[in-house]
Amino acid sequence: MKYYIIAGEASGDLHGSNLMKALQKEDANADFRFWGGDLMQQVGGTLVKHYKERAFMGFAEVLKNLSKIYKDISLCKTDIKNYNPDAIIFIDNSGFNLRIAKWAKANNYKTNYYISPQVWASRANRVKAIKRDIDAMYVILPFVEDFYKKYDYKVTFVGHPLIDAIADRTQVDEFEFRKQYGLNDKPIIALLPGSRKQEIKNMLSVMLGLVDNYPDYQFVIAGAPSQDYEFYAQFINSKNVKFIDNKTYDLLSVSTAALVTSGTATLETALFKVPQVVCYKGSNISYQIARRIITLKFISLVNLIMDKEVVKELIQNYFTTKNLKKELDIILDPYERTKFFINYYDLEKKLGGKGASEKTAHLIYNSLKS
């Protein structure tokens, strides 16, 4: 079978690569053409366009790059037509993927969506288009299945692929890890400032403003695969800050606490059982627009899944060095840390265990055979 897969950022590249591996087990003749990244490319097939070339964040940046986005949409449609896949698989990335899905369904392609657009967070009216254009939806968060039921749209909860990604990784020897990256023996506070340049600019300078207050800890920046060290270097002004590129899971596995930009990383940090403070700050115009369309009481996946405040969220004007220090002191307190561990274990149970990629691949392949 021929599979055309469209993912739009680092997390989509990760989940896309694992889904491709699972499809290869189901379908010995699986052939892939995709929009993704390095991890998907390592599995095999043809990379059409790397997600690094189209990583736009926030309403303002999207508006500035509309002409480029429309060119990519046109390119994608033409490429699909030339490849003529048996199935198209969309992974998150709703702004781009839902436009392609409308065209694909109208042209009689089999449409599958893995990792739902966040219609449960904002613009629920998009469900109408999803019901029209998507043949099968596979969701990775338990509350999303319940959300779609309200709109009489049957989706399949397959579990969360991060559980597989974390469980299957090679365990790190902490002593060797510290030695390799020149880390001292102090407890580590991981800094996860996001993957896009705008995010990193907004988050990292505030995070690094704490460093001098914690001489007994080692601060380590988790570099995103989409950015080079040179970009981060402009923000680093202390010897007590280290940088490790593209080793976020290894870093989290040896960290005592973490300051994390809202996104998939909040859930990854929780699955590594690391107490965290969730941070987010966007441009003022993007924030004001988001406030008017997002209907949720939380922004972090951890709190959304648990339906209560497990991790503190510092958003926009509340994201200051003063507030961040206050919350970091709390998560370094031994008594408070115990609460995190209890909640994190409950969170993992709610996510449904291992096998998300395998379940999804099995369902997609069987639907094509039938």
What angle is formed at CA 158 by the lines to CA 140 and CA 298, rounded to 5 degrees?
A: 20
Q: What is the mean pLDDT of the chain?
A: 91
Place 66 in a pLDDT band, splitting at 50, 70 and 90.
Answer: low
How much is the average pLDDT of 330-345?
94
Are residues 220 and 342 located together in one domain of the fold? yes
Are residues 113 and 48 located together in one domain of the fold? yes
| Among 78, 56, 77, CA closest to 67 | 56
Q: Which residue has the tokens 């990792």?
A: 115
Place 1 in a pLDDT band, splitting at 50, 70 and 90.
Answer: very high
Task: Report CA dihedral (164, 300, 10, 24) to the nearest 10 degrees.
Answer: 30
- State the Cα–Cα distance between residues 126 and 128, nearest whole angstrom: 5
- State the Cα–Cα distance between residues 157 and 351, nearest whole angstrom: 9
Place 286 in a pLDDT band, splitting at 50, 70 and 90.
Answer: low
pLDDT tens digits along 105-161: 999 999 999 999 988 877 888 999 999 999 999 999 989 999 999 999 999 999 999
Range of the domain at 41: 2-159+355-369
- State the Cα–Cα distance between residues 18 and 127, nearest whole angstrom: 27
- State the Cα–Cα distance between residues 22 and 203, nearest whole angstrom: 36
Q: Which helix (H) or strand (E) holds 243?
A: strand 241-245
Do the domain assignments include residue 23?
A: yes
CA 149 vs CA 92, 124, 294, 298: distances in Å:
19, 13, 20, 21
Are residues 121 and 198 located together in one domain of the fold? no
Does residue 119 contact residue 19 with C-beta atoms inside 8 Å?
A: no
| CATH code where residue 124 lies | 3.40.50.2000
Place 273 in a pLDDT band, splitting at 50, 70 and 90.
Answer: very high
**Full 3-state SS string of 151-202:** CCCCCEECCCHHHHHHHCCCCCCHHHHHHHCCCCCCCEEEEECCCCHHHHHH
Please state the domain count of the chain: 2
Partners of residue 113 on adjacent β-strands: 90, 137
Do the domain assignments include residue 164?
A: no
Are residues 102 and 233 located together in one domain of the fold? no
Does residue 19 contact residue 360 with C-beta atoms inside 8 Å?
A: yes
Q: What DSSP string runs through 80-138? A: HHHH--SEEEEES-HHHHHHHHHHHHHTT--EEEES--STTTB-TTHHHHHHHH-SEEE
Q: Which helix (H) or strand (E) holds 33?
A: strand 31-36
Q: What was the pLDDT predicted at 348?
A: 92
Are residues 26 and 39 located together in one domain of the fold? yes
Are residues 334 and 240 located together in one domain of the fold? yes
Are residues 128 and 176 located together in one domain of the fold? no
- State the Cα–Cα distance between residues 298 and 290, nearest whole angstrom: 13
Do the domain assignments include residue 54?
A: yes
Place 226 in a pLDDT band, splitting at 50, 70 and 90.
Answer: confident
